[in-house]
């Protein structure tokens, strides 16, 4: 069976399909007769959950340090709690119900109990007991935590995936993303490009595809369900060809990003977390041009502490061994929602309370992040950039808060280094006053995704508008040139960190415009380098 969709990243994926199940899906109550067998089923699922958590702890220690990994040890201990186990087994025995229902019931009861306590530490355990219960329920229902079943990488099928869901997926277990909804500019699409895996949207997926063999053709925008042997042979050959092309690109490692006539440009990578640094190094990026720090908030159940953020930033800075790391400060709001921020529902969130507007309003959250970044700056070469800027007054407020943070750290005897300060140019307002802003900062980085959205008055998350969402629009290209010219006149270097930076049909145009830097998905570094090295500008 062939199903058509829209491709958001090319490539071929062959493997079993797994339907993603939301963690908070409704658990059905089912009557059972053999209570002892059901209790044993629960215990086996609990033991498997503990094994998973032990593996996650070991992985997290390597990626984010022992401090941030400790939560997985806490979850293992909670699974061993005698009261928790007795509550589940008692519900199974007295009510003759399935283990999934007993675990869900107990999880809800314990979560409410913790939430009602006066002690802040115990209150925080409310979210933890929900999480371990969801993990056990996922195993009982035949799916791993986060919706991936089995022990082999899969083609992940879903209605859609929110940023908070994609950030928690085990990326090593995903061959491809296929979603029913979403747009070519959604965060799932951006993640697929970061991971260098094929992805489709707009595919009419169904529950009965779970566990079946599938082929994703990211070039043709096609999902093949239950392929024939002939189709498998054809696509395996095609995949081998693509793998050969990737191997040829590896020969560009260590080479300069310089045109045939000597024009050089910096080529950096965009990342969403500490775990992406391996891909940055593997693809030979010159630095990190965009560290999306909001993913530290999206993957947390509460505001990440200063120490937790410091550890993440320090780890990235150390791993990059002196290469530039540009950290974008918290950029939530719009399609990136975080429950514990308790933000009001907005009619037009893309133009609402988001990014720097939240940070300047909730200064303690902002200062916590800036303290963590400046502490980490001592261990590498860190620059900071601020999103969603529309005015000079915002930049001046930011600089005042930075001065406060540096004064506090100095008084506390905490070492740090000065950081380059930059802003994202992603609003038409910032473009139009870029001549003024350039005198206040060290660099500009253009966020072409939002700049296109705001300039063309097109919601980039709306799939119905994909056909007219045009990053090549003359208005956008004129704005890019204006920003480069104004930036250079004011003494600021200028880069692109939006998805447009990886559009190789525009690489020569960007070089002619005078851009100093392009920051792209790690998987695109060598492809862009190849184009640069085969371009002549004179």
Q: What percent of the chain has pLDDT over 90?
A: 57
516 and 378 within one domain:
yes
| Known catalytic residue at 187 | yes
Q: Is the dihedral of CA 513, 516, 520, 523 positive or negative?
A: positive
Domain membership flag for residue 206: yes
**91, 115, 140 - which closes a domain:** 140
Mean pLDDT along residues 484-512:
96
Using alpha carbons only, what angle is made at residue 56 by residues 65 and 320, rounded to the nearest 5 degrees?
40
Using alpha carbons only, what angle is made at residue 447 by residues 441 and 448, rounded to the nearest 5 degrees?
135
pLDDT band at 365 (very low <50, low <70, confident <90, very high): very high
Q: What percent of the chain has pLDDT over 70?
A: 91
Other CB atoms within 10 A of residue 386 CB:
24
The candidate with the shortest Cα–Cα distance to 96, out of 15, 38, 161, 175, is: 38
CATH number, domain of 102, equals 1.10.274.10
357 and 264 within one domain:
yes
**183, 216, 247 - which closes a domain:** 247
Please say if the pLDDT value at position 135 is more than 80: yes
Please say if the pLDDT value at position 423 is more than 90: yes
CB neighbour burial string for 180-211, b if at least 16 within 10 angstroms, e if fewer: bebbbbbbbbbbbbbbbbbbbbbbebeeebbe
398 and 261 within one domain:
yes
Domain membership flag for residue 26: no
Q: Which residues contact 462 (CB under 8 A, 6 or more apart)?
A: 183
Q: Quick one: pLDDT at residue 334?
A: 64
Domain membership flag for residue 87: yes
78 and 14 within one domain:
no
Alpha-carbon span 482 to 475, nearest angstrom: 11
The better pLDDT of the pair 153, 266 is held by: 266
Please say if the pLDDT value at position 6 is more than 60: yes
Work out how many domains the chain is built from and give that number: 3
The candidate with the shortest Cα–Cα distance to 466, out of 452, 480, 479, 485, is: 452
Domain membership flag for residue 25: no
Q: Name the token pair of 55.
A: 């593996």
Mean pLDDT along residues 507-521:
96
268 and 203 within one domain:
no
Q: Which residues contact 33 (CB under 8 A, 6 or more apart)?
A: 96
| Known catalytic residue at 359 | no
Q: Quick one: pLDDT at residue 119?
A: 72
Q: Quick one: pLDDT at residue 363?
A: 95
pLDDT band at 99 (very low <50, low <70, confident <90, very high): very high
Q: Which residues contact 265 (CB under 8 A, 6 or more apart)?
A: 257, 258, 510, 511, 515, 516, 517, 518, 532
E strand or H helix at 427, and its extent? none
56 and 157 within one domain:
no
pTM beyond cutoff 0.75:
no
Domain membership flag for residue 66: yes
E strand or H helix at 158, and its extent? strand 154-158
128-137, 157-166, 432-441: least confident range? 157-166
Alpha-carbon span 447 to 389, nearest angstrom: 11
CATH number, domain of 195, equals 3.50.30.10
pLDDT band at 307 (very low <50, low <70, confident <90, very high): very high
Alpha-carbon span 106 to 91, nearest angstrom: 8
Q: Strand ranges (DSSP E) for 232-378?
A: 266-271, 288-292, 324-328
* Catalytic residue chosen out of the listed positions 21, 187, 359, 419: 187
231 and 134 within one domain:
no
321 and 268 within one domain:
yes
The better pLDDT of the pair 345, 223 is held by: 223
- Decide: residue 53, CB within 10 A, 0-12 exposed, 13-18 middle, 19+ buried: buried
Task: Say what the alpha-carbon torsion angle 76, 80, 84, 86 is, to the nearest 10 degrees.
Answer: 160
pLDDT band at 472 (very low <50, low <70, confident <90, very high): very high
369 and 464 within one domain:
yes
Mean pLDDT along residues 404-411:
97
Residue ranges making up the domain that contains 168: 2-20+147-247
Question: What does pLDDT average to over the chain?
Answer: 88
| Residue matched to tokens 């119905």 | 464
281 and 207 within one domain:
no
CATH number, domain of 429, equals 3.20.20.60
Domain membership flag for residue 201: yes
Q: Quick one: pLDDT at residue 145?
A: 46
pLDDT band at 100 (very low <50, low <70, confident <90, very high): very high
């Amino acid at each position: 069976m062939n199903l058509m969709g829209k491709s958001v990243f090319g490539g071929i994926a062959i493997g079993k399909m797994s339907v993603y199940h939301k963690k908070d899906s409704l658990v059905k109550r089912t009557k059972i007769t053999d209570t002892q067998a059901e209790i044993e089923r629960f215990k086996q699922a609990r033991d498997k959950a503990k094994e998973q958590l032990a593996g996650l702890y070991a992985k997290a220690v390597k990626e984010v340090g022992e401090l941030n990994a400790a939560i997985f040890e806490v979850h293992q201990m909670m699974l061993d709690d005698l009261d928790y186990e007795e509550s589940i087994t008692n519900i199974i025995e007295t009510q003759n119900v399935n283990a999934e229902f007993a675990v869900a019931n107990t999880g809800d009861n314990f979560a409410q109990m913790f939430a009602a306590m006066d002690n802040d530490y115990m209150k925080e355990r409310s979210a933890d007991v929900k999480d371990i219960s969801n993990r056990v329920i996922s195993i009982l229902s035949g799916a791993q935590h986060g919706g991936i079943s089995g022990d082999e990488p899969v083609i992940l099928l879903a209605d859609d995936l929110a940023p908070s869901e994609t950030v928690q997926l085990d990326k090593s277990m995903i061959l491809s993303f296929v979603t029913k909804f979403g747009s070519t500019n959604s965060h799932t699409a951006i993640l697929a490009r970061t991971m260098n895996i094929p992805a489709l949207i707009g595919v009419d997926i169904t529950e009965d595809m779970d566990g079946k063999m599938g082929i994703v053709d990211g070039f043709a925008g096609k999902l093949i369900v239950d392929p024939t042997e002939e189709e498998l042979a054809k696509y395996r050959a095609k995949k081998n060809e693509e793998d050969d092309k990737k191997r040829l690109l590896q020969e560009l490692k260590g080479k300069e990003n310089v045109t045939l006539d000597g024009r050089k440009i910096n080529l950096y990578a965009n990342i969403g977390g500490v775990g992406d640094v391996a891909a940055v190094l593997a693809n030979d990026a010159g630095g990190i041009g965009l560290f999306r720090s909001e993913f530290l908030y999206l993957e947390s159940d509460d505001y990440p502490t200063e120490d937790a953020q410091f550890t993440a930033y320090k780890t990235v800075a150390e791993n990059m061994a002196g290469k530039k790391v540009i950290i974008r400060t918290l950029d939530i709001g719009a399609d990136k929602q975080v429950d514990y921020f308790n933000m009001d529902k907005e009619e037009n969130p893309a133009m609402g309370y988001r990014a720097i507007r939240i940070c300047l309003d909730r200064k303690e959250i902002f200062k916590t992040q800036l303290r963590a970044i400046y502490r980490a700056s001592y261990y590498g070469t860190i620059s900071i950039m601020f999103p969603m800027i529309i005015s000079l007054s915002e930049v001046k407020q930011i600089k005042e808060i930075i001065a406060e943070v540096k004064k506090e750290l100095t008084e506390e005897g905490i070492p740090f280094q000065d950081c380059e300060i930059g802003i994202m140019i992603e609003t038409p307002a910032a473009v139009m006053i870029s001549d003024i802003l350039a005198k206040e900062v060290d660099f500009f980085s253009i966020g072409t995704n939002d700049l296109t959205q705001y300039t063309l008055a097109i919601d980039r998350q709306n799939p119905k508008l994909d056909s007219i969402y045009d990053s090549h629009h003359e208005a956008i290209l004129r704005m890019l040139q204006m920003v480069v010219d104004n930036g250079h006149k004011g003494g600021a270097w200028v880069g692109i960190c939006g998805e447009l930076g990886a559009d190789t049909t525009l690489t020569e145009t960007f070089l002619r415009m005078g851009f100093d830097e392009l920051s792209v998905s790690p998987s695109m570094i060598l492809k862009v380098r190849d184009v640069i090295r085969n371009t002549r500008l004179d």
